[in-house]
Structure 1
Amino acid sequence: MTFDAGGGIEQHLSDSPYVERIYRAGSITGPVASRMRSVANSNWELVVWRDRGDTHVSLRGPETGPTVLELGSGPGETLGIIFRHGAFLAPMPMSALVDTAVSSSHATARSFVLQGEEWEIPTYGNADVFVDRLVRAGLLVRDPLVTDVLRGDATTLVTPRSVQRRVAAATGLTQGAIRQIERARQAVLLLQQGMPAIEVVQRTGYHDQPHLARSLIRFIGCTASQLRHADDGEMLSLLYKTEVEVRP
């Protein structure tokens, strides 16, 4: 449920093999959208946000479909750590995070509780240090095979059934679901850049334009035409290109 505030967001890639990217968004100046379309997303993330003096921390899982959220007076200050495919919290089944969020039982401006332990609230500048602490504590682990398989690297040492099981355990999703979600997200990025739909079909491996249209409705919740004629009152959640191989 990360969002792109149309210039009100700052983000960067991470050198950590556990982290996809880190972002932050502060108060937005100028016109503010009243709704956010949270599109399907195959990564999970840790989100810290402050609203009217209160601090909140949540783990947000992969989202298999779009949702539209009312923003009210607009989002407050937010920090997000998006984790790579293959990185997961050892005590928590990833399947339990799909299409939901788990909030910290206690959070203050300085600390929060995660898996029964107190942790310092991360900042945009020290998020990688925070992740390293999770790794050293044995709370955050990684299955590199999952990362390699989704990137398209072939492996002959593990059976297909074992690969499927490990992908599901590390991500909460099947390989097919991840690739479908990522293909739709990449299609949106290309359409937003002005690429014609027929070329998007060829670039991302859809069978034809009706196939692309069905995918956009399922995972994004709108058509290519609606994406090109954006509603000023609605923003899309944060879009980014991952290493997942999307071609069939």
Structure 2
Amino acid sequence: MYTERVSRLTGAVVWTNTPTGAGARPVLPDGCMDLMWSEGRLLVAGPDTRPYVPDGPARSWAGIRFSPGTAPALLGVPAHELRDGRVELADLWPAARVRRLRDRVEAAPDAATALEDITLDRAVWAAAPDPLLHRLVECLDEGRPVSATATELGIGARQLHRRCLDAFGYGPKTLARILRLRRALALARSGVPYAETAIRAGYADQPHLAREVRGLTGRPLGELLGGGG
């Protein structure tokens, strides 16, 4: 069973996922990165451009999902280096530090809250989120074109692409596609008809929606919703 709550870290979500006997569902691209805990391991989920299907036996997880573009400053590594990956935190930070954090999580009554506390401690020392990138996410999530957004933000295409690679793991066009997918799934899950979902989310029509959903998730929209998405 999957549960989540709003984090004390601005824009983040704290979550847990406990096996229920059903097969593991794919993790869909959402523009975010996560710090995760499972069976004594601390891992980082990089930004996905395709569905991620967990391998091995089902197990319980706890995690904190960072809002788009904010994790690299906290982790100290560019997002593109972690794209489509699941990486041990010890590969990014000194082993001794990670051992102390692992002991801290193991000793805590709630692993998810312990991860949240670790992140809040880290945020005190990390660089502040880039307001330009925050505004970029807002504009793209409103469905504005990438070129018009770049002009509005006063940044050139090459610089915008480079900064997006560092912050999100991919360029602004891919980010826009993923944010649009997220809007469409939210609308469809709330019961909005597919044709209306397509228009409201920013697609040309329902076939365009269908192609993009399958292209980014590997599954048709109806199957995603029927399986709980």
TM-score of the superposed pair, with normalisation by structure 2: 0.77
Over the residues paired in the alignment, what is the CA RMSD in angstroms? 2.7
Q: Which residue of 2 aligns with 1:103?
A: 88
| Residues paired across the two proteins, number | 208
Q: Which residue of 1 aligns with 2:180?
A: 183
Q: Is this contact kept in 1: 2:31–2:47, CA < 8 A?
A: yes
Q: Is this contact kept in 1: 2:14–2:112, CA < 8 A?
A: yes
Q: Is this contact kept in 2: 1:20–1:84, CA < 8 A?
A: yes
Cα distance change on mapping 1:143 and 1:222 into 2, 3 Å? same
Identity %: 22
Amino acid at match of 1:22: V
Q: Gaps (5+ residues) in structure 1?
A: 1-7, 107-112, 237-248
Structure 2 Cα separation of the partners of residues 199 and 144 of structure 1: 32
Structure 1 Cα separation of the partners of residues 166 and 54 of structure 2: 29
Q: Which residue of 1 aligns with 2:156?
A: 160
Q: Which residue of 2 aligns with 1:75?
A: 59
Structure with greater strand percent = 1
Q: Which has the higher contact order (CA 8 A, sep 6+)?
A: 1
Q: Which residue of 1 aligns with 2:130?
A: 143
CA-CA distance at 1:65 after TM superposition: 1.0
Q: Which residue of 1 aligns with 2:17?
A: 25
Q: Which residue of 1 aligns with 2:143?
A: none
Among 201, 219, 223, which residue is 1:226 paired with? 223
Structure 2 Cα separation of the partners of residues 225 and 81 of structure 1: 28
Secondary structure of the equivalent of 2:113?
A: coil
Q: Is this contact kept in 1: 2:19–2:59, CA < 8 A?
A: yes
TM-score of the superposed pair, with normalisation by structure 1: 0.72
Structure 1 Cα separation of the partners of residues 94 and 133 of structure 2: 24
Among 194, 203, 214, which residue is 2:200 paired with? 203
Secondary structure of the equivalent of 1:150?
A: helix
Q: Is this contact kept in 1: 2:16–2:63, CA < 8 A?
A: yes
Among 117, 120, 132, which residue is 1:132 paired with? 120
Structure 1 Cα separation of the partners of residues 226 and 67 of structure 2: 32
Matched, 1:16 2:9: yes
